[in-house]
Each structure stands twice: as structure tokens, then as C-alpha cells.
Chains A and B, each alone.
Chain A
Amino acid sequence: MIKNYFRIAFRNLWRNKTFSFITVFGLAVGLTCCLLLFMYVSHELSYDNFQQKADRIVRVTMEYSLDGNVGKAPVTGTKVAPEFVRAFPEVEAGVRLMNSSAIVRHGDQRFNEKRVVYADSSLFRVFSFGLLKGNPQTALAGPNQLVLSKSTARKYFGTEDPLGKVVRVDARRGESDYTITGVVEDAPLNSQIKYDILASFSTLDVSKREEWWSANYATYLLLRTPEALAGLKAKVPGYMKSKSAETEMVGNNYLSYNLEPLRRVHLHSEVEGNFEPNGDLLYIYIFGSIAVLILIIACVNYVNLATTRAVERAQEVGVRKVMGALPTQLFGQFIGESIIITFIALLLGLLLSSLALPLFNQLSDRQFSFNQWLEPANLLVVVGIGVVVSLIAGIYPALVLTRYQPVRVLKGHLKTTGAGNFRRTLIVFQFAITAFLIISTFVVQNQLKYIQNKKLGYDKEHVVILPADRQVGEKIQALKSEFKQNSSVQQVSMAYESPVFVKGGYAMRRSDMPEDQYKMVAGLPVDEDFVKTMGLRILAGSDLTRQDMQLAPVMFGDTANYYHFIINEAAAKELGWTPQQAVGQKIDMGQNRKGEVKAVVENFHFASMRDKIGPLVIFPEGYGNVVLVKLSGSQLTNTLQFMENKWNTLIPSRPFEYEFLDQEFNKLYATETRTGRIFSVFAFLSIFLACLGLFGLSAYTTALRTKEIGIRKVLGASIGSIVALLSQEFLKLVLIAIVIASPLAWYAMDRWLQDFTYRIDIPWWTFLVAGVLAVGVALLTVSIQSIKAALMNPVKSLKTE
């Protein structure tokens, strides 16, 4: 019997090639989207699952309050880990980590390593990073020890055994030799801790002191039992209060710590990630929904085509019933058919998704590999998806088919299938999803364009950022004059960080304010050429000079000097001054920087457009992590080559690296850009799938109406009126869909835009364009069929009955 079903199924597929193609290919494309998005979602959800002790590990984040300003940070001082192990019996171990970068030299090779992580030797006790070579107890125990990841080891040493080898590491804190004491598995892609090289924490000077402040270290604790977390969490604030003399947080000020279960960090933490940006639950929902929606569109195609074609199968159903088939047997047969079709589509979908994987990786900024599908757990999900889709798509057509009464169908032709309204509802539903995705795409793209084109208040075009360090700082004057020999180089400046996203937080006060009052502001140490290089507009006062630089200390802690500050409009307003009033006023930045306002600059976007522009203080200080170079924009390649040559002669210790400021700027909106791209691709696919279904359906209904068309033509109907006749029904449905989708899309997108302080209003024409687009494509699809039918010779079509 099963064999008979298979035969029928395959012969049906083979005989109606157009429909089979539409059904199978449509499902396959839908399943491909679903599989890829599932991969993304499951990857995000699987973060840190591989850690065997995950349920006992917590991340410690810092929370402090200074005069009502509450701050949260993903880092702590060096004291937290050792102190908590001593003070709380429920803590079994603690580990401190610091993410850094370094230039590593091995022989005459030089590598710029961006993921060097300093870690306590307890790392291997707490986390399940598999040590391939070396002793987990001692590998990170002493100073100047390195554990390389497997791929880093291969990069440096090939097949040689790296254990015991010595490399020279030039980190921010100076240069020294390190001995390689181990090789560790590469950090899994779904690990919140990412490293290429692990270095012993005891190498750092700070490891010798235990401090609450100087919070630069990620701290993780291993608890004795998972249940201990709640109790410990409750104890911490009280404990920290008892230490207020040490932390110097008195009165209403406090310093305390939150504990987050390891597996919640990536998606649920309100504090950012230490090693890479955290994921966003919102986008998990968005991508998950898109996957489901696309799959629904594909299923709807199957249901619609299958129920339409049920007419053709009616006779078969009748015959089988007469032969004694039970309704359950017939139901089983048609569900079986849908399972066969779905699994053919699933195989095709797996093939398509493996082909589309590189593209999807680019789209989603991830590194998935096809092998992930072959893991048993995922394979189970794939099969599960197949079964669910077969059932969702198959049940309704199977019911329709099984319901046929043999006495009715065997009598002769059966013209209607009775599922007309259901089918219409599904088409509306399908196109509503499509219209929703199109509108959302437009809105996301528009917001991104708005961000791109918004006047930032500084020049982001043709500005090159060169990562720098202490040694570059020492040579900065020479570098500037060398660079400027090239006429394309307009300005060169050194700054603590790029103006795209200024993170540094400082306590600022007007000198006439009481000692314990201050305002939290962003602060950016720069040199005298910064304002010119970035094209900031001075509203009052004058720019920094070389002399201002000399008055300020070269190194932090040198207190005898006097600062000239540049503040932005927002800072002036915060302190109660107009730009003109502000100039010449005395202010302090923290304890050690006293001076006066020298200029006020126009507000510029030094943070994400999600937030309002806040107060900012720019001040002269002779150290920085970036060199900013403003170019004229002509002869870019030559100029960069020129700069590289100069750099290499002046600063041989550090490789020349550059990035454009607008690239850096775009990184701020990487998530949104990614979402925008994913939206576009899937909106396109959804419209493609919906039209594929419409194409099949219109082909079929047109074929059913061949006779009617013939009669109408004989009676004198024009081709145009026949095309209109055949198309209007579908167009009506698409229009209803757009009307339904528009308010929903408006609501959803307005919610999304609320994340941005600087945002577009959803333009009314998005709905118009989305509507015209959906209707246009649908019309095109339907009219291919109806024009063909309308052009057919009526004599021929009348003969078909």
C-alpha cells in the first residue's frame, strides 16, 4: 500500500511539473530561509552552553552611585575575585580577565594580536576551555606565561611543538619576553569569552595590589552550588557597605556588585559584553518571526495549490473510496504525500542553505558552517521542522480531499473545490506578511540613510584612524611633519579615542560648586590639532594651541599644571552658561585637572543616535590611542602608501594599520545595518514566494476558466477586459492585504524607531511605495497567465471541454 502511495505521489509530481516545481521549490526556499535563520537564532541562544559548570558560574558587574548618578559597568577592580573567595564560603573560585591587544614577535614575524586575554590561573578550573598541551594548574600560574589557542599556535609554529618557546610581546605596558606554557582549544563561536592568546594575569603589575577601583577587569566566580546564587546576591550590597571606608563611598554614594548567571550574559544582561558586543533578544525575536513568517508563506503556497488541484484528485478519491478505502487511510495517504514533498523540499533546502551559507554569513556577520547541521541535535530539529511543515501544509488539503463523496465526484466533473474563501484568506494573509516586510524594510533603510546623512557636526569623510600607542605618542611631532609633506594630508591629530563614540566618563564641576558636587560628563583627551582635523565648529572662544598642550601634563598625575578646556554646547548649558558666558570660566575635571573653558564647540554626535547628545569636555593631554589624519580625498591609495612608508621608518615596532572614520562610524550601527540587510533579503524572498504561489494559482484558475474565456471571446470580449476579469480578483486580495499590513507595520516600526533619539518620522510614501510594489508584482505575475489565456484562439479553448 505504501508503495502504491509513493507511486501515486511521484507520478503526480512528475506529471504536473509546473505545480510540482512551484510547490517543491517554494517550500525549499522557505525552508532554506527558515534553516538559516534558525541557525542564527539557535547560535545566539546556545551561548556558553558548552561550559560544563555554566550553572555555577556568574559574571560580576559593578554598580555605583555618585551623587545620584548611577553607573553600571561590566568590569570590576582587582580585589573582587580574591576578596569574594575569602569572604563568602559559597564561592569556590574566582577568575579575573582582561582583554587587551599586543604586538607579538616570533623570530622575524610580527603579529598584531587583538584578542590577548590576561587571565588568572584559575581560568581552567572555572571554564571548560580544553587545554590541549600544558598543565592546567601551572599554565597561567607564573608571570610572563602564554597559552596559545590552537590556531594561533599553528600560525606561529606550524607543526612544531610550541611548549617552552619564547616570544616577545609588546603590550601597552611595555615589552617583555613570554614563555609558552600551553595550547588551548580555540574559543568556541558561542563563547562570551573570546581569545587568541591567554596570558598570565600575574604578569600585570596590578595583580600585586588588590583594589576596588581601577575597574578594568572582567570577574567571574565559580559557586559551590547553583542554588547559592540567590543568597550570595542578597549578601553583596550589605558586605560592600561594610567596606565603605575602603571604597570611599560614603553617604548616599555606594559601590556594589551584581551577579549574572553565565548563560544569561549574552542575551539578558543590561551591561555590555567584555569581549564582544552582547546579543540582543529583540533581534532574536525579529529573526525568529521572519523565519516563521516566510515558512508560513511557503506553506500557504502548498495549501493553496494542493486544494486547488484537489479537483483533479477528486476522481481518485472517489475510486479509492468505492474500492473500500477508509477515510483514515485516505487522510494518511495525502498527509504522506505532503511529507514526501516536504522532505524533497527539505533536502533541496539543505542544499540551497549550504550554497547560501557564505552569503548568509556575510549578511549576519557570523561564521556558521554547514557541518552544524550534521550534529545530532540540529539534525533532529531539521527533521522536526520537516514534520511540522508537512503537517501544517498537509492537513487542510488532506481534509478537503478526504471529504469528497464518491457518489458526487464519480458522476462527472466537479468544478469548485469549496475551499475558495479559505484560499482567499490565505492569500490575503500571505500578502499582508509580504507588505509588512516591505514596509519595514523601507523604514529601516530610511532610518539608516538618515543616520548616514545626518550632519554629525564633524567631518567623517576622508578621515583615517591609525591605532597608536605610547611609542607613537613619543614620535607624534615627527610623524605629523612627515605626513604633512604629502599635500593630500591636511591635518594630523592624536586623541585618546575616535570622536565616533566617546566613552570616557569624568566628574566635572564648576570651580564655584561645593567640593562634593559634580556632573558626569564624557571626556576626550586630544592634542592641539583635533578641532581642526575633525572640522568642529567653535561657537565662542578659540582653539587649543601648542602652548596649551605644554601647560597640561604629559602624563596623568602631574598636578602642577593648568588646563584649557573645550566644552560642547550641551556642557555649557548643563553648567548654566551661554557659549559666550562660558569662555574663561573656571572648571575642574576630577581631582587633578583644574583650569578654564577656552572655547565652546557646536554639539556633535560623539555617541550613538540612540542617545541624546550629552555634555562633553575636550581637553589637551599628550597621550592617545589613535592618530587621526584628515585627507583631501584625492589620490587615496598613494597617500596611504606614503603614510605607511613614513610610519614604518619612524615606528618600526608597530605595524601600520588604518581604518576610515566612516567605517568606524558605521560599526556603531552594525546591528541595525545587519537587520536592514536581513530585512531586505527576506522581504524580497517573501515577495518572491508569494508571487510564486500566485503564479501557480492563477495558472490553475485560468486553466479552469479556459472555456469561459473562449465563450466570452466568441461573444466579442476584448483581450484587455479578459485580463482585467482574470486579474481583478487577485488584485482585490492584495489590496486588502496592504490595508491590513500598513497599520501593523507602522506600529511595529514606530516601536523600533523609539530606540533612537534622532530618528525619522515614518514617511507616508513608504506605504504607497510598498503598496504599488506589491500590487505591481502581483499584477505582473497574474497577468502572465491571463494574457496567455486571453490571447488563446477560442476555437482551441472550446475544444478542451
Chain B
Amino acid sequence: MLRTTNLQKVFTTEEVETTALNGIDMEIKDGEFVAIMGPSGCGKSTLLNILGLLDNPSEGVYDFYGTDVSKMSERQRAQIRKGNIGFVFQSFNLIDELTVYENVELPLLYLKTPPNERKDRVEAALTRMNMMHRRNHFPQQLSGGQQQRTAIARAVVATPKTILADEPTGNLDSKNGEEVMNLLRQLNEGGTTIIMVTHSPYDAGFAHRIVNLFDGKIVTEKVHV
């Protein structure tokens, strides 16, 4: 279970101070599918980054499965991150110099998974995302949808409990977008917690719960049935 209490995030640049998050209290149960929505600049990505342990809050407590991680160093966060959280980005963020197979393999390398098991798991993930036939291609040789499927394969290969997705369909057409959403739903049905930022009400419809942000604060929460 993830729980935040009075989460604040202030960015200080040369002249201006931007309060990106201002007192976020939220709880996400295991196996939930949560969508975060709101206008541009309201702090959605900032929140997701903190939830994903990519960044620290300026203030507040973040309880990650029973541990307060809000004051941890990058090194400690990196240790928790690997194996526990998978990421999917709007711009895919595949490494251009690595093939599909090698990109998906990457999290397992950092987890020091033994080679045989690694091979099995990469192949399983690729099969699941229907990318096996493209495993030796480089990212530039793929369509946007294929790239995002690869990114999802990479996010799930280490079987994390939580997957964070920041506008995963933002760069895709509606057909490819639909496909990605269905994959996420399947993962959620398999027990994975999913937290997704989106601008699309249609995509948000896949979630159990929608959190609306405005100016760094939660304004409404809506629960689907």
C-alpha cells in the first residue's frame, strides 16, 4: 500500500519558486488502478515522479509499503525502485543503441538475475506484448505503438507490484492507444497496481478511481464501480 501525507514539492529556480504540489494526501491500495488528471502544469508528473521514487518531496511523508521513503538518498531509492516499480513514459524512452530484446533485459541486468532466468522472463514479457518477432530490431525501426509495447514489456519484465505510466497514450493514435490501455488493464487484472497520468477521459475510464489535481492540490476524487 502507498500512502502520502501532506506531500509538498517546491521547485526553486534562479528567481521563482514554484509550488508544484501543495499538501497531497492520498492512499493507493494494492491492485488498484488509479488515473490522475488535471490541466497542464498542475503537478501530475511531479506527483508521479515522487510516487515512483524518482524524486523526493520537499515536505511530507511518503509511506511506501510500510517504509517512509521521503528523505531517502538517490542511492537508496534506486535500490527500492528496481524490481518494485515499472515505468511507462509518453515518449517511450527506449535506449536507441539497444535492441528491443536488450532494452527489455535491462531491468533484469540491474537486478542481477541469472542468465537463464533472464532469457525466459524477457521472452515471456515480449510474447505477452506481442513483440517477440521484433526482438532484434532497434527502437528507430519500430512504430510508436510497438515502441510503447516494448516499453511496457520492459516495465513488467521484473514483475513489479506497481506500474507508473505518464501519459502512456499521449504519442499514439487511437488504435494503438486502445491496445496499450488494454494491456495495462490486463496487467491490473493480474494484480499489478497501476497509477496513470492522462489527459484523455476515455483512458481514465479504464481506472477504478480518478484523482483530479488543480494547482498542486487534489480537488475531486471519483470512484468507478
Q: Name the contact of A327 in the complex, choosing from B75, B87, B112 (C-beta under 8 A).
A: B75
Within 16-35 of B, Cβ neighbours of A (below 8 Å) are at none
Closest to A317 in B: B95
Q: Does A8 contact B97, Cβ atoms closer than 8 Å?
A: yes
In Å, the complex CA distance between A320 and B111 comes to 12
In Å, the complex CA distance between A412 and B95 comes to 14
Please, which residues of chain B bring their CB within 8 A of the CB of A238? none
How distant is B141 from chain A, measured CB to nearest CB, in Å? 14
Q: Name the contact of A407 in the complex, choosing from B55, B79, B107 (C-beta under 8 A).
A: B55
Q: Name the contact of B95 in the complex, choosing from A1, A316, A326 (C-beta under 8 A).
A: A316
Say whether A751 faces chain B, with CB atoms less than 8 Å apart. Answer: no
Count A-side interface residues using an 8 Å CB cutoff: 26
How distant is A134 from chain B, measured CB to nearest CB, in Å? 66
Say whether B130 faces chain A, with CB atoms less than 8 Å apart. Answer: no
Q: Name the contact of B107 in the complex, choosing from A318, A323, A411 (C-beta under 8 A).
A: A323
Closest to B50 in A: A407
In Å, the complex CA distance between A794 and B129 comes to 41
In Å, the complex CA distance between A322 and B78 comes to 8
Please, which residues of chain B bring their CB within 8 A of the CB of A410? 89, 91, 93
Say whether B94 faces chain A, with CB atoms less than 8 Å apart. Answer: yes
How distant is A475 from chain B, measured CB to nearest CB, in Å? 82
Interface residues as binary, B137-180 with A (CB distance below 8 Å gives 1, 0 otherwise)? 00000000000000000100000000000000000000000000
Chain B interface bracket (under 10, 10 to 19, 20 to 34, 35 or more):
20 to 34
Closest to B87 in A: A322
Say whether B83 faces chain A, with CB atoms less than 8 Å apart. Answer: yes
In Å, the complex CA distance between A325 and B108 comes to 11
Interface residues as binary, A290-309 with B (CB distance below 8 Å gives 1, 0 otherwise)? 00000000000000000000
Within 67-89 of B, Cβ neighbours of A (below 8 Å) are at 74-75, 78-79, 81-83, 87, 89
Closest to A413 in B: B91
Please, which residues of chain A bring their CB within 8 A of the CB of B110? 1, 320, 323-325, 329
Say whether B181 faces chain A, with CB atoms less than 8 Å apart. Answer: no
In Å, the complex CA distance between A79 and B4 comes to 99
Within 89-117 of B, Cβ neighbours of A (below 8 Å) are at 89, 91, 93-98, 102, 105-107, 109-112
Say whether A12 faces chain B, with CB atoms less than 8 Å apart. Answer: yes
Say whether B212 faces chain A, with CB atoms less than 8 Å apart. Answer: no
Q: Does A324 contact B111, Cβ atoms closer than 8 Å?
A: yes
How distant is B43 from chain A, measured CB to nearest CB, in Å? 13
Please, which residues of chain A bring their CB within 8 A of the CB of B82? 323-324
Say whether B49 faces chain A, with CB atoms less than 8 Å apart. Answer: yes
Say whether B58 faces chain A, with CB atoms less than 8 Å apart. Answer: no
Please, which residues of chain A bring their CB within 8 A of the CB of B55? 405, 407
Please, which residues of chain B bring their CB within 8 A of the CB of A322? 52, 54, 81, 87, 93
Please, which residues of chain A bring their CB within 8 A of the CB of B154? 323
Please, which residues of chain A bring their CB within 8 A of the CB of B105? 4
Please, which residues of chain A bring their CB within 8 A of the CB of B94? 319
Within 1-42 of A, Cβ neighbours of B (below 8 Å) are at 1, 4, 7-8, 11-12, 15
Question: What are 12 A-B contacts defined by CB distance under 8 Å?
Answer: A1-B112, A7-B97, A7-B98, A12-B97, A316-B95, A323-B106, A323-B107, A323-B110, A324-B78, A324-B81, A325-B78, A412-B91
A-B pairs with lowest CB-CB distance, top 8: A324-B82, A11-B97, A324-B110, A323-B107, A407-B49, A316-B95, A1-B109, A324-B81
Which residues does A use to contact B, with CB under 8 Å? 1, 4, 7-8, 11-12, 15, 315-316, 318-327, 329, 405-407, 410-412
